[in-house]
């Protein structure tokens, strides 16, 4: 134990004082906090799976329902937020969220659908340059998408889908290991696709360094930011990322199955890239000239990859959430996140001879707000003990509990209660 940890105040009163001085504490009141059996809010640490509902989301969804009832089809142009251009609401706020320029981000579809649409354009195998590099322990949907895309091109996934070589027992590579794998297979790579933050271990990757390595290897590079968007800051435009996709029901709090996001660098905006086309990706000035337009003319920017008209009812909660992100500021949220997650890390380190290992990196720059704990003895029992204390976390087979202190709505007292619950669960005394 370090000297700093030896003097760490582990009392609940100290956590309360931290909350009193937290400039972002007021945003907690903007969310619906689920109640437990005692009628008091649970400790919700599962924003890495599903974010909490912004209270204003109900208002925004009801507004669209009211406009639908009041206007019918005329709501496409006369609703308070016209449905025809609803996706444009996110053009600037969505861009700021991931460090993009307006026009490089569009909210549409779901993450895996967007990934497939991006792969149609950006996975272009040619000659011996026909392989895809992916992280081990990637989220299964990414792997399935890549397998099916390889098969679509007549390639064998067992030969052409290459896992990054990682030394760690959890198969979560470091950023250096990713770069080394890119260098090793540089002559064969058509595409590098990794997550911004690994869903299992919570490890955050050095995206600018990965982009540089991919550029040197002459490979296209894309990222799945499902566990990164709204969690850590990005500068996708400046880093020269080709494309990125993400969901918005985790840290972006847009609700179950919410509309997802997609980034396409502006250098590809007018490129003659192949794509699966649909009418909403067409030039808006010609979108309804159905008797004249027999050829698809894509709109410049990410919006040119749209296939269908926007799903307004699933976009309304995202509008509510992004307003909170805009008000709080991503830089300020990151500052609190580093403090909040670091506080939990330090508290857990005070538990004597803990029967668990934190498999998330200790360096705050190598993680977001998630800590993954590998439990040595009866991991399900520890998880169930936390549930008994109305602490909502996440269990991943066979033995990992994921805990995510989200800076928009979690408090330092929440973190202390998680620590106290784990301390009691692993000691067996129920404290």
CATH of the domain at 302: 3.40.640.10
278 shares a domain with 206: yes
Q: How many domains does the chain have?
A: 2
- For residues 402 and 360, give the distance between their C-alpha atoms in angstroms, rounded to a whole number: 10
* pLDDT for 428: 67
396 shares a domain with 304: no
**Rg, C-alpha atoms of the chain:** 23
Long-range contacts of range 30-37, CB-CB < 8 Å, 24 or more positions apart? 30/54, 30/55, 30/56, 30/324, 30/408, 30/409, 31/55, 31/253, 31/408, 31/409, 33/409, 34/392, 36/390, 37/390
339 shares a domain with 318: no
307 shares a domain with 295: yes
* pLDDT for 291: 74
Task: Write out residues in the chain with pLDDT < 50, as ranges.
Answer: 1-3, 431
What does the block give as tokens for 332? 């300020």
Specify if 165 maps to a domain: yes
226 shares a domain with 100: yes
DSSP assignment of 302-343 equals GGGG--S---HHHHHHHHHHHHHHHHH-HHHHHHHHHHHHHH
* Domain that residue 302 falls in: 61-326
Specify if 365 maps to a domain: yes
- Of 326, 346, 379, the residue at which a domain comes to its end is 326
* pLDDT for 170: 67
297 shares a domain with 421: no
* pLDDT for 287: 81
261 shares a domain with 136: yes
Specify if 109 maps to a domain: yes
66 shares a domain with 194: yes
- Of 277, 301, 326, the residue at which a domain comes to its end is 326
219 shares a domain with 79: yes
- For residues 389 and 423, give the distance between their C-alpha atoms in angstroms, rounded to a whole number: 12
Q: Distances in Å between the alpha carbon of 74 and those of 54, 78, 158?
A: 28, 6, 52
How many C-beta atoms surround the C-beta of residue 117 within 10 A? 24
403 shares a domain with 309: no
* pLDDT for 1: 33
Interval 283-341: pLDDT, tens: 888 887 777 767 888 888 999 999 999 999 999 999 999 999 999 999 999 999 999 99
Specify if 25 maps to a domain: yes
97 shares a domain with 14: no
Give the β-pairing of 220-224 and 243-246.
Answer: parallel
168 shares a domain with 25: no
* pLDDT for 212: 98
Interval 122-164: pLDDT, tens: 999 999 999 999 998 889 999 999 999 999 999 999 999 999 9
* pLDDT for 292: 74
Q: What pTM was estimated for this model as a whole?
A: 0.94
């Amino acid at each position: 134990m370090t000297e700093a940890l030896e003097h760490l105040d582990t009392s609940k009163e100290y956590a309360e004082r931290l909350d009193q001085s937290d400039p972002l504490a007021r945003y907690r009141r903007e969310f619906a906090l689920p109640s437990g059996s005692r009628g008091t809010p649970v400790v919700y640490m599962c924003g890495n799976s599903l974010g909490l509902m912004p209270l204003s989301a109900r208002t925004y969804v009801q507004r669209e329902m009211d406009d639908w009832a009041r206007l019918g089809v005329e709501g496409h142009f006369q609703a308070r937020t016209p449905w025809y251009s609803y996706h444009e609401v996110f053009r600037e706020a969505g861009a700021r969220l991931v460090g993009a320029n307006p026009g490089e981000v569009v909210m549409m579809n779901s993450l895996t659908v967007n990934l497939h649409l991006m792969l149609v354009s950006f996975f272009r195998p040619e000659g011996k340059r026909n392989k895809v590099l992916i992280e081990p322990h990637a989220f299964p949907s990414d792997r399935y998408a890549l397998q099916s895309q390889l098969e679509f091109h007549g390639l064998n996934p067992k030969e052409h889908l290459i896992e990054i070589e990682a030394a760690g027992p959890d198969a979560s590579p470091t950023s250096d290991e990713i770069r080394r794998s890119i260098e090793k297979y540089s002559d064969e790579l058509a595409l590098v696709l990794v997550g911004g933050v690994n869903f299992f271990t919570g490890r955050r990757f050095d995206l600018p360094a990965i982009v540089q390595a991919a550029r040197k290897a002459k490979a296209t590079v894309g990222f799945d930011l499902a566990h990164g968007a709204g969690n850590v800051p990005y500068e996708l435009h400046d880093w020269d990322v080709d494309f990125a996709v993400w969901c918005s029901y985790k840290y972006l709090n847009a609700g179950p199955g919410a509309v997802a996001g997609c980034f396409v660098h502006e250098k590809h905006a007018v490129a003659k890239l192949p794509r699966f086309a649909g009418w909403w990706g067409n030039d808006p000035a010609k979108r309804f000239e159905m008797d004249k337009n027999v050829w698809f003319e894509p709109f410049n920017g990410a919006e040119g990859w749209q296939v269908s008209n926007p799903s307004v009812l699933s976009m309304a909660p995202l509008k509510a959430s992004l307003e909170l992100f805009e008000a709080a500021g991503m830089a300020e949220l990151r500052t609190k996140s580093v403090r909040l997650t670091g506080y939990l890390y330090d508290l857990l380190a005070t538990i004597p001879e803990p029967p668990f290992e934190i498999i998330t990196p200790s360096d705050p720059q190598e993680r977001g707000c998630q800590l993954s704990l590998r439990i040595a003895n009866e991991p399900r029992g520890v998880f169930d003990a936390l549930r008994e204390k109305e602490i909502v976390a996440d269990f991943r087979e066979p033995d990992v509990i994921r805990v995510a202190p989200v800076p928009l709505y979690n408090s330092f007292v929440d973190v202390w209660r998680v620590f106290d619950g784990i301390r009691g669960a692993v000691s067996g005394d129920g404290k």
